[in-house]
Structure 1
Amino acid sequence: MVGIHKDRVNEFLGRIGQVDAQFGPLSGIATAQRRLCWAHQIVSSLRRISYTDTLLMRGVDPARCDPHSGIFDPVRGALHLQRHGQLDEAVWLTFILTHFGKHAADEWKLAGNVYGTFGAGPVWTFTHYSADPNAFESMLTANSGRLADANVSGSFSNHRKFQSKKPQAIAKTFRTYYAWQTEFGGFRERMIATHASVGQEPRAAFDALYNSMKGVFGFGGGRLGRFDFLTMLGKLQLAPITPGSVYLDKATGPLAGARLLFFGDREHHITGRALESRIDALDEVFGVGKQVIEDSLCNWQKSPDVYEYFRG
């Protein structure tokens, strides 16, 4: 392993030993090989977050916002919009990048095609979508054949691979998400209302926003979409929020990792809700944040004995 945080593997091996001592011998990390593998996954998760931290210190080309550009990158694009006082546009683009995700091979192709009408029409910015949501839905229907052909449209990321590319499904996600962002007027107003309700503590605000997204189609029924979206808002400094929990209820990969860690069995019957406090407590040992804990466990359980790098 090379790059930032690579020198922390031994540090995390020591902390994994502390986990084992604190909770009792854990069957999932009974071997040195498994401990090493998990330590490497923790480092990989930290590096992914550090990448966003690095972007915050760099300039951004405006073309990063343009889906018709060869350098379209909605993560950088959201930063550019935020820096130019366009908070609603930045949050909207963060929703789009989260919903479609960055595919291992296609990268931002699917997000760019939908956001930019397959290179042939308007860009569906927050402002443009607000003016005519029905036109957006008509655009999706007109391009249903392109959406169905992954070679043309591109594909969802691994985190979003179970989402549908049918026009009505995408339209419903956009429609219900837009209703969420604009419920109080705009995103700034939603944050004001959240702070008025639960206070300004970042973890409490994150939890309130997480629970408020239950009605967003493709996000609210599970937990990964909401978790990824809100953590990205925090990482990009679009909202003063941070997760205070791994939110294991309705989780898949992170829950399998938690079960494997504590019981040596990905399919153990224990629920995510029952395990959540124990996994949250791991951050008291590691001090890396809840997102790193859940991401590293998710990736570790895929290959617990041999380290593999996963993009997410």
Structure 2
Amino acid sequence: MIRNNYRRDAERIGAALDAFEAEYGALPGILDPSFREGLIDQIIDSEQRVAYFARLRGRTLDANSADPGSTSFDPLRASIIHAERGNYDEAVWLVFLFVHFGRHRLAGWRYVRDVYGRLGDGRLWDWPSVSADPIGFRYWLDDHQQELLAAPGPRGFSNHRKYESLNAWEKTGTGEAFESYVRWILSGGGDHAAFFAQFDVLDPADRFDALYRSMSAVARFGRIARFDYLTTLLKLELVQLDVPHSYLVGATGPLRGAQLLLRGKVGEGLARDLQRELQVLSQSIGIRGDVMEDAVCNWQKSPDAYQRFSG
């Protein structure tokens, strides 16, 4: 059942779906009214997650949110605070940290706080420090890895990053991810602004796609991490971007959602074909590519009975 507080949103999305189906034919995955309502609810939730970023940017944020020594630390809020202070490099660096570590369901931002704040030694592994000495960071991480792992209380990467490690020297560890990110950014002229300026000749959608492909240079940043990093920069208005499509190639949940919606059955349809078709649907009903990707991914988990997912 559509929630009353989002009734207008539901009517807008429902009318857009009706118009799309009138022109292109029925969508097999939402012939059942309960499946249709479930998809509409998930689109609403995905839109609200985007709106959350706009609401954050419109607030006066607690300065402690940018202090890793405080339990109030939050890398997203810290990024906004640094952007407002004109510290663009640090704002974007915090987005990288936000994506690399993610938010653990019990420990919250513990890994980001502990690493960014150097375990409370009074200094930071901020952008100037890491970019000037990525090898020094790796030595620090190696020296403190057991401390990071053994300190009391829950800790860990987010669910999307659960296969990552704090290893300093292996190709699959945090040390390699950090150093490769630094190399990627510095390859463009010395800071984040210079790096992103290289892509200014492209329109926002092509810029997103070019950056997405360029991020193959960053270790441990596959489809989900690249998509999250770039869409977070977009939602925080740190880079002018537009999501061209849902990047279903290499996806799991979003691909299953697209298969169910567009073919009526999970396992049916090639990713590139479905990606193109989902792009047409998204544009036709006025839903951004990242919103649609998030919505179909969550919808396919319980298509006929709405469940709220936190991310």
TM-score, scaled relative to structure 2: 0.90
| Correspondence 1:1-312 to 2 at 5 A | 5=6, 7-120=8-121, 122-148=123-149, 152=153, 154-168=155-169, 169-184=173-188, 185-195=190-200, 199-219=201-221, 222-268=222-268, 270-312=269-311
Displacement of 1:149 in angstroms is: 5.6
Displacement of 1:225 in angstroms is: 0.8
Tell me the secondary structure at the aligned position of residue 226 of structure 1: helix
CA contact (8 A) 1:147 1:153 kept: no
CA deviations 1:226-253 (Å, max 9, x no partner) are 1110111111111111211112111221
CA deviations 1:121-153 (Å, max 9, x no partner) are 632100111232223212222333345469746
% same residue:
36
Distance 1:308 1:132, change over 3 A: same
Which deviates more from structure 2 when the two are superposed, residues 98-107 or residues 148-157?
Answer: 148-157
Tell me the secondary structure at the aligned position of residue 68 of structure 2: coil
The residue type equivalent to 1:230 in the other structure is L
Unaligned runs of at least 5 residues, structure 2? none
Displacement of 1:23 in angstroms is: 3.8
CA contact (8 A) 2:135 2:179 kept: no
Separation of aligned partners in 1, 2:165 and 2:303: 30
Which deviates more from structure 2 when the two are superposed, residues 173-182 or residues 22-31?
Answer: 22-31
Displacement of 1:273 in angstroms is: 1.5
Separation of aligned partners in 2, 1:150 and 1:31: 51
CA contact (8 A) 2:107 2:154 kept: no
Displacement of 1:155 in angstroms is: 2.3
Separation of aligned partners in 1, 2:168 and 2:32: 48
TM-score, scaled relative to structure 1: 0.90
Separation of aligned partners in 2, 1:153 and 1:192: 40
CA contact (8 A) 1:104 1:311 kept: no
CA contact (8 A) 1:87 1:187 kept: yes
CA deviations 1:249-274 (Å, max 9, x no partner) are 11221111101112232223x33222
Tell me the secondary structure at the aligned position of residue 300 of structure 2: helix
What is the aligned length? 306
Displacement of 1:120 in angstroms is: 4.2
Separation of aligned partners in 2, 1:272 and 1:26: 17
Tell me the secondary structure at the aligned position of residue 302 of structure 1: coil
Tell me the secondary structure at the aligned position of residue 127 of structure 1: helix
CA contact (8 A) 1:248 1:255 kept: yes
